[in-house]
Amino acid sequence: MKKFSNPVHAMRLAIVILHYGKTSLTRRLHAQLQQSDPVLAEQVFVLDNCAPEQYPDAWLRTDENLYWAGALQLALQKMDAAGYTHVWFLNNDVLFASTPPFIKRAEGRLKRLNTVLGGRGVGVYAPAVLSNPYHPQMVRKEGMQYRTVTYVDGIAPLISVDCWRELGGVDSAGNPYGYGVDVWFSLCAHEAGWHVVVDHEVAVKHIYHSTAREISGFMQTAALAEQSYLAARLGVDYKTRMDSLKQDWQDHAGL
């Protein structure tokens, strides 16, 4: 990968698809992005997380399964070293469900959000989701432009490298599986003064736990690790705090 020399304030976005599980899912999303934004195809990378079904067109294949959090940290490190300012980290089981071009549209809207919201800028941006059984603040609302939130679901976060650096990287200590790490990372960004935003005009649909369900015992193990992880950071009554945070958002009709 070549390193880009960016002038100050120039945005350069890398899109990283995390491959694990079915190659067909990764190929479907990869192809959708290549067709949507052919000019930006060189900015789309597939990170093969040592998947049993190897992805033939992967940018990088790890030597072991790093799980979600480890793979996110690696992607941010690699893209930071290559001169990218933002990393859009996509689960392979998402599919875009809004108007293309997806990358160019998201990039333009993120630039506009940085201008409109001001301050430190957007630390974590995420497309809205057509449905989400766990995080209601992620669900798309027709007629609205964007939503400011306290944290996002980690199925497709777009992260500012500056924000990631300031937070000291992805904190997955004691929780290698990654469930809950997305919540904590984006909440830390919010509490550090970065904007955390869900975009209603860029949307995805998601097959929840499509890969996790195929690995015997994984969801139970990951859930137990998530409970300990969040309790250590948010307190033993973390579920009550989470219920409150899910409702702490504001929609905006203009951009």
- Tens digit of pLDDT at every position of the chain (255 positions): 656 555 446 899 999 999 999 999 999 999 999 999 999 999 999 999 999 999 999 999 999 999 999 999 999 999 999 999 999 999 999 999 999 999 999 999 999 999 999 999 999 999 999 998 889 999 999 999 999 999 999 999 999 999 999 999 999 999 988 899 999 999 999 999 999 999 999 999 987 655 555 555 567 888 899 999 999 999 999 999 999 999 999 999 999
Give the whole-angstrom CA distance, residue 199 versus residue 210. Answer: 24
pTM: 0.93
At 16, is the secondary structure helix, strand, or coil?
Answer: strand
Give the whole-angstrom CA distance, residue 214 versus residue 220. Answer: 12
Here the tokens at position 27 are 């190929």
* pLDDT of 133: 85
Q: Please answer whether residues 62 and 47 qualify as being in contact, where contact means their C-beta atoms are separated by less than 8 angstroms.
A: yes
Homologous superfamily of the 13-207+214-249 domain (CATH): Spore Coat Polysaccharide Biosynthesis Protein SpsA; Chain A (3.90.550.10)
Give the whole-angstrom CA distance, residue 38 versus residue 101. Answer: 9
* pLDDT of 134: 87
Q: How far is CA 155 from CA 3, 6, 127, 129, in A?
A: 27, 28, 9, 9
Give the whole-angstrom CA distance, residue 65 versus residue 48. Answer: 9
